[in-house]
Amino acid sequence: MVEKQQDHIQQWVSKLVDYKKQKIFGGRNPMDTKKKRILDLISLDGQVAIVTGAASGIGLATAKLLAEMGVTIGLIDINESDGIDATEQIKESGGNAKFFLCDVTSDSECKKTVEAIHKEFGKIDILFNNAGVIRRKNVLDLEEKDWDLIVDVNLKAIYLLSRHVIPIMIKGKGGSIINNGSGWGIKGGSNAVAYCAAKGGVVNMTRAMAIDHGKHGIRVNCVCPGDVDTPLLRGEAKQLGVDEETFMKEAAERPLNRVGDPQDIAYAVLYLASNLSSWVTGTTIIVDGGGLA
């Protein structure tokens, strides 16, 4: 008798739960609804992005992640062989991408490349200005040609690409521009005077762009990485003439006790490109494992 009552109660509870699911979720499992909500926030299905410096490091990791989120990627780099390889990696994973060889310090090449990407994909929704270069020297040791190179790649390139992309975004009624800064764009560092100057410019340029183009529905933000395990970072050890293993060990000396992974920065870019940050513009997100804390 007791068992029959328990069965009856269990059946009644199950029916009540099913009824509530039907009433609240339209018959869908609440977990499915939750997943859909999350996907709606981070999904970028159908959008088109330009990623500069996309052949390796942070650029490659970001291009791959955005492609996973449904973005068609126009990869830009001066390294043609690695750029083509990066594009193939994205395609093999089911993403849509095309490589464009471009010197981001040349206005004519930036214009031609942006026009080609726009013609190929019909629009541009996201621009990740990521290309970068560093020379570890102070004012006395740095040659003028290296100053020009560092400022041109890290800072001028953002101006050049943005001036050709923004009119397309305005016609499309909005977009997201993410500039790659650096922790050294916020505080100084040793033997990196041109890099610090350029990245400081990136941080404040981001604010100015956000003010100018918010009325067009374009959000402009900056991500500032700490030391991330990329060819660029490892190359610094060689420039400074120090042991690479020791250099990387010292770079990990921060609250989270590790150097960054390119994916760490890619996640921040995804946030700034997605609806999760729909009311975020003119800001700088520091992603450095607590290095500046």
Q: Which residues are catalytic?
A: 195
Chain centroid, CA 44 distance in Å:
13
* Both tokens assigned to 125: 């929704």
Give the three-state DSSP class for 181: coil
Compute how many other C-beta atoms are within 10 angstroms of the C-beta atom of residue 36.
12
* Both tokens assigned to 228: 């991330």
92: left (phi over 0), alpha (psi -120 to 50) or beta: alpha
- DSSP letter string, 209-258: HHHHHGGGTEEEEEEEE-SBSSHHHHHHHHHHT--HHHHHHHHT-STT-S
E-state strands within the chain: 48-52, 72-77, 96-101, 126-129, 175-180, 218-225, 284-287
DSSP state of 173: T
Specify whether the CB–CB gap between 101 and 78 falls below 8 A. Answer: yes
Q: At what angle do helices 231-240 and 244-251 cross, to 10 degrees?
A: 120
Exposed (0-12), middle (13-18) or buried (19+): which is 135, by Cβ within 10 Å?
A: buried
